[in-house]
Chains A and B, each alone.
Chain A
Amino acid sequence: MTQLWNFGGGVHPPENKRQSNSRPIRAAGLPPELILPLQQHIGEPARCIVEPGQKVLKGDVIAQVGNGMGVPVHAPTSGRIERISLEHVPHPSGMSDTCVVLIPDGEERWGELVPHPEYRKLERDQVLALIRQAGIVGLGGAGFPTNIKLRPSVDRKVDTLILNGAECEPYITADDMTMREKADQVMTGLRIMAWLLRPERVVIGIEENKPEAIAAMRQAAEGSKTEIAIIPAKYPSGGEKQLIQILTGQEVPSGGIPADIGVMCQNIGTAVAVADAILQGKPLISRVITATGEALAEPGNFEVLIGTPASHLLACAGVDKQRLSRLVLGGPMMGYTLPSPGIPLIKTSNCVIAASASELPTPAPEQPCIRCGHCAEACPMELLPQQLFWHAKATEFEKAEHLNLFDCIECGACSYVCPSSIPLVQYYRFAKGEIRLQRAEQQKSDRARVRFEARQQRLDREQQEKDQRRKDRALAAVEAQEQKTADARTMVQNGTVADERAGKSALVEQALARKKAKAAAASAERAEPSTQSSEEAPLEALASTHAERIPAAEPVPSIEELEQQLSQAQAKLEKMQSMLEDARSGKAPNVDKLERAVDKNIERVRRAQRAIDDAQTTPQQA
C-alpha cells in the first residue's frame, strides 16, 4: 500500500461522471474540415510549410518549428489544404490565430511511418527528438512540449515519476476511459518515459471513484515496479501540486517546478501519445475527448482528430441545440466557455460540456463578502481568498501579492463554495493581469530611464569636450598674442620699427587682442557648469576688460585717448550704478558682486582722471 498524504482544503462537487463513462470510446470520424492552429503548445508558434491547394497525407508535417521551444503540427488525415487564415481558436479570450484549414479527402492515406520498437537501442536524445517530431505536448491542458519536460537540467534529477490519473474534475472521463481501454499503451508510454528519466519510483495516482480504471491499470502494471496509488476523491487532487503532495508528502516550492524536488508529473493521454509515436511512428493527430452534458443524447468519450470543430463532436453525441445553453471547454471548475460551436478542438482539449440551463445555471448576483471563510477552508493552496478578493477589489495589488496571490492555481474551489456567489477567480485573474501589466510597464520605464540617462551622459561629455577645445583655442590665442607683443617690443626697443606710430599701433592691437582673449576665456568659463553663474560672469568680464585696458595704454598716454577712456569708464560706472540700484530694489542675489564691480570702476575712473591730470601737467613725450 502506497503511503498517502492529505492536502489542505479541497471540495466535493457532484462528480457527474456516470453520464460519459458508461459508453466505450467511439471514433468521431472525419469532419467536413479540420482547423489546425499553428500554436497548440507553450512556446513559439509553428511555421506553416504548406500552401493552399497542396495535397497532404495523414501524418504529414504541415507546420514546423525552428530551434526554439515548440512542436510541429501534423495533418490529421489526408486531404487538401483549403486556406491558411485567422480562425477562432480555443482560448478564454475568444481570440483568433493563424490556422491551417484542411479539407479531408476521405481516403485516410498515411504518409510514411517509421516505428522504433527497439527504442532502447537508440540514444536518449534521439528518442526525445522523435517525441518532439511527433508533435507531443502535455495533454492535461497546459500544452508544454513533452520532449523538453522529459529532459530536466542535470541538477534536477527526477526521482519520482508520477502518472496523473486522478482526473478530479467533475464530468471529465477521458483519462478514465483511456486507462480502461488503453491500459497497455499507457504502460508502454510510461515505460518509455521511465527509460528516459531513470527515476527510482514510478507511481500512477488514480482517484478511488474509478474502480474499472484502477483494475485495468493494475493488470497492465502486473510484474512491474510501477505503483498504483488509489487516492481519495477530492477536488483538486489532480492538480499537479496537490497530487505531488498526496503521493510524496512534499510541496513544490513557490515559483518552482516539480523537478526542483525531484518529481515529474505526466498525463495519461501524453503517455499514450508517446507510446504511439515511438512504437508506431504515429504523430499526435488525435486524442480522447469527453463530450458530455444534458444537451447531449449520447454523451461519451470520442477519439477526435485534432482540429475537429466542437460542433462535429457535439453532432456525434446527439446534441439538442434547443437545450444547449452553455458550451464549456474543459471541466466545470476550470474550463472556459466557447463563444460558438465552430471552434476547433486541439491537442490540449480534454472535455466539452454541452450544458443545459438547469445544469449549469447562471450564478446569483454577487453579494457582499461576509468573510465567512468557507473559501479559505476550501483553498488547496492555503491562501486567504477573502483577503485576496478584498485587496483585488480595492486594487491594493501590493497587499494581494503579499498574500501570495501568484500561488493561486485558479482551481475555483473558493468560488464554488462562496455563499455570496462572488466570482473570486475572476477577481484574482484581474489582479494578476494588472500586476503583470504594471511590471511590464515598470520594466519599460526602467529601460527608458537607463536610455535617457545614457544619452544625457553622452551629451554632457560632448559638451565638456567642446568646452575643453574652446578653452584650448583661447589659451593658444593668448599665447600667440603674447608672443606677438614681445616681438613688437623687441622691435621697438631695437629700433627696427622706423615709424613710432607703427609701434604704438602694435601695442594697441596687442591690448585689443588681450581683451579678446580674456573675453573668450571668460565665455569659455561661463559655459563651464561648475564656475560662476551666468549672470555674474559678464560683469566680471566687463570689469576685467577695462582693468586691462588702462595699464595697457599706459606706456603711451595721449590725452585724447585718456579722455576717451575716462568718458568710457564713467559711462560704465553709471551703467553699473543703475544696475546696482535695480539689483538692490529687486533684492537680487548679485548685489555684492555689483557693489564690488562699482567700486572697481570708481577706482578706475579716478585713475583715469589722475592720468589725464598727469598728462596735462607733464609735457608730452610725443
Chain B
Amino acid sequence: MALVQQSSPHAHRARPTSRVMLWVIIAAVPGLLAQTVFFGWGNLINVVWCIALALATEAAILKWRSKPIGFFLKDNTAAVTGLLLGLSLPQFAPWWVSAVAVFSAIVVAKQLYGGLGSNPFNPAMVGYALVLISFPLAMTTNWAAPAGLWQDAPGFGETLSAIASGQQTAVDGWTMATPLDEYKHKVDSHTAAEITVHPTFGSFVARGWEWVNAAFLAGGLVLLALRIISWHIPVGFLGGLVAMSLLFGTNADQYAPLSLHLLAGGTMLGAFFIATDPVSAATSHQGKLIYAVGIGVLVYLIRSWGNYPDAVAFSVLLMNFAVPFIDYYTPPRTYGHHKARRGLPTRKQG
C-alpha cells in the first residue's frame, strides 16, 4: 500500500461545519418551544416550511450551478437560514411571504454571491428585510396574540390552514400588535402607565416575548459555552443597545424602557443567533465588538426614531456593509510587532 502523502498538520479536531450548524439549530430549540407555548403553532409551522423550502431551493440552485448537492446540503447552513427566517417571521405570515423571504435569502443573498462563505450580507436578514418592505401589511398584522389573550384559540390545523390559505391577514382575534409596536405608536400621546395597561405587556415586561427572549438567551449561552460563538458579538450588541437606552431613553414616558428593548422583539435572537453569523460579521475580536455595538446602536435608533417597531434585520444589514471597512482597521497586534497594521497595504514604489 502506498504511503499517504499529506501536508501538515496531520491531526485534526473533529468538529466540522455541519456539526457547528447543528449546534446552532439545537440551541434555537428552547426559543422555538417558548414561541410555540406562548404564541401558538405559527412559528413551528413557519420553521418547518422555511427549512424545507431552503433545502429545496439550495439543492435546485446547486444543481443549476453544477455543484455537488449532497456535499453542500450536509453543511446545514441552508437549514440554519430557513430556521432563522421561520423564527423571525410573524406567526400567521402567509406561505408565500415566507417563500419569497427564503428564496431571496438562498438564491439572491447567498448563491448569487458564490454560495457559502462568499455572501457579504446575512442571507436570512436579506430575505426578512425584503418581505418587510414589500409586504408591510402581511408583515405587521400577522403577529399572534400571546396565549391567554386569544379569543377562540386556533389549533394546529387552523393555524396551518391560515398560513396555507395565503390570505394577507389572519383572523383578527388571533393577532395583536407587538409590544414594541404598541409602545412606539402610543408613546407620543400617552404616558408609560397608560400604554402598559394594554394586555400585550402582561404583568412583567412583554407577555410571552419575555420568555421567548429568555429562551433564546439560554440557547445563546450554550453556544457561548461550546465556543461556537465568541462573547464579542452578543455583548457588543446588547451593550450598544443598553448604552443608547441609558443615554437617551431613561424617561419611559418618551421612549420605550430598557427592559422592553431587551426582552421584546427579536433582541436575543438577533444578538446570539443572527448577528453572530460569522460569514457576514467582522473578523477580529475588536472588529466584532465594533460591528456588534453598531448593530445595537442602530437597533435603538430605528426603534426609537425610525418607522419600524423592530430593527434587527436592518441594523444587521447596515453593519454588514461596514464589515470590510471594519476589518481593514481592526487587525490584532501580531506577536513581535509594536502595533497592529491598520488600513490597506501601501503600494511600494515601482
Contacts and interface: CB of A to CB of B under 8 A. Distances in A.
Interface of A: 7-8, 11, 13-14, 170, 241, 245, 251-256, 322, 324-328, 330, 332-341, 353, 355, 357, 360, 362-365, 367-374, 376-377, 380-384, 386-387, 398-399, 401-404, 407, 410, 412, 415-421, 423, 425-426, 429
Interface string B1-32: 10111111111110111011000000000000
Contact of B4 (A362, A365, A412): A362
Contacts of B115: 368
Given A339-B3, A370-B17, A371-B279, A380 B9 contact: no
Contacts of A13: 11, 13
B191 interface: no
A417 B12 CA distance: 7
Contacts of A386: 283
A387 B9 contact: no
A369 B13 CA distance: 16
Interface string B241-266: 00000000000000000000000000
A382 B333 contact: yes
Contacts of B112: none
List 4 A-B pairs, minimum CB-CB distance, nearest first.
A412-B9, A368-B117, A402-B345, A254-B336
A389 to B, nearest CB: 11
B181 interface: no
A19 B24 CA distance: 37
How extensive is the interface on chain B, given as a class?
35 or more
A325 B4 contact: yes
B335 A370 contact: no
B279 A419 contact: no
A403 B15 contact: no
| Max count, chain B CB within 10 A of own CB: residue among A255, A336, A372, A398 | A372
Contact of B283 (A326, A338, A340, A387): A387
A398 B3 contact: no
B204 interface: no
28 contacts: A11-B13, A14-B11, A251-B336, A253-B336, A253-B337, A254-B334, A256-B336, A324-B1, A333-B8, A337-B3, A337-B4, A338-B3, A362-B4, A367-B71, A367-B116, A368-B117, A369-B117, A370-B117, A372-B278, A374-B227, A382-B335, A383-B334, A398-B347, A403-B331, A404-B337, A407-B337, A417-B13, A419-B15
B176 to A, nearest CB: 38
Given A376-B332, A423-B7, 9 more contacts: A326-B6, A336-B7, A355-B10, A362-B6, A365-B71, A382-B334, A415-B8, A416-B13, A417-B15
A376 B284 contact: yes
Given A368-B117, A386-B283, A252 B336 contact: yes
B334 A420 contact: no
Nearest to A427: B7
A421 B12 contact: yes
Contacts of B197: none
A429 B335 CA distance: 19
A320 to B, nearest CB: 12
B58 interface: no
Interface string B270-300: 0000000011010111001000000000000
A404 B3 contact: no
A330 to B, nearest CB: 8
A407 B336 contact: yes
B327 interface: yes
A386 B117 CA distance: 11
Nearest to B343: A402
B9 A425 contact: yes
A399 B327 CA distance: 12
A227 B45 CA distance: 66
Given A256-B336, A387-B283, A373 B19 contact: no
Contacts of A407: 334-337
Nearest to A355: B10
Contact of A420 (B1, B7, B17, B336): B17
B9 A334 contact: yes
A333 B333 CA distance: 24
Contacts of A333: 8-11
B74 to A, nearest CB: 10
A332 B10 contact: yes
Contacts of A341: 3
B230 interface: yes
Contacts of B347: 398
B161 interface: no
Given A13-B13, A382-B334, A407-B334, A370 B4 contact: no
Contacts of B182: none
A374 B1 CA distance: 35
Given A325-B4, A338-B3, A399-B345, A371 B116 contact: no
B336 A241 contact: yes
A577 B194 CA distance: 105
A327 B337 contact: no
B134 interface: no
Interface of B: 1, 3-13, 15-17, 19-20, 71, 75, 77, 115-118, 227-228, 230, 278-279, 281, 283-285, 288, 327, 331-337, 341, 344-345, 347
B118 to A, nearest CB: 7
Contacts of B11: 13-14, 170, 332-333, 360, 416
| Max count, chain B CB within 10 A of own CB: residue among A341, A371, A386, A423 | A371
Contacts of A338: 3
Given A372-B278, A373-B283, A384-B283, A415 B9 contact: yes
Contacts of A7: 335
B141 to A, nearest CB: 36
B13 A401 contact: no
A333 to B, nearest CB: 4
Contacts of A322: 1
| Max count, chain A CB within 10 A of own CB: residue among B8, B116, B117, B327 | B8
A407 B283 CA distance: 19
A423 B9 CA distance: 8
| Max count, chain A CB within 10 A of own CB: residue among B16, B335, B344 | B335
Given A251-B335, A370-B279, A416 B12 contact: yes
Contacts of A403: 331, 341
Contact of B5 (A337, A357, A376, A410): A337
A332 B281 CA distance: 32
Contacts of B3: 324-327, 337-341
Contacts of B9: 332-334, 412, 415-416, 425
A328 B6 CA distance: 9
Contacts of A381: 334-336
A410 B8 CA distance: 9
A72 B15 CA distance: 47
B10 A370 contact: no
B8 A368 contact: no
A419 B19 contact: yes
A384 B345 contact: no
B286 to A, nearest CB: 11
A466 B217 CA distance: 89
A387 B11 CA distance: 22
Contact of A425 (B5, B8, B116, B341): B8
B117 A373 contact: no
B20 A419 contact: yes
B105 to A, nearest CB: 16
Contact of A404 (B116, B227, B230, B341): B341
| Max count, chain B CB within 10 A of own CB: residue among A256, A357, A384 | A384
Contacts of B7: 336, 423, 425-426, 429
B77 to A, nearest CB: 7
Given A387-B327, A399-B345, A328 B334 contact: no
A372 B77 CA distance: 13
| Max count, chain A CB within 10 A of own CB: residue among B11, B13, B284 | B11
A367 B75 contact: yes
B15 to A, nearest CB: 5
B336 A377 contact: no
A381 B281 CA distance: 22
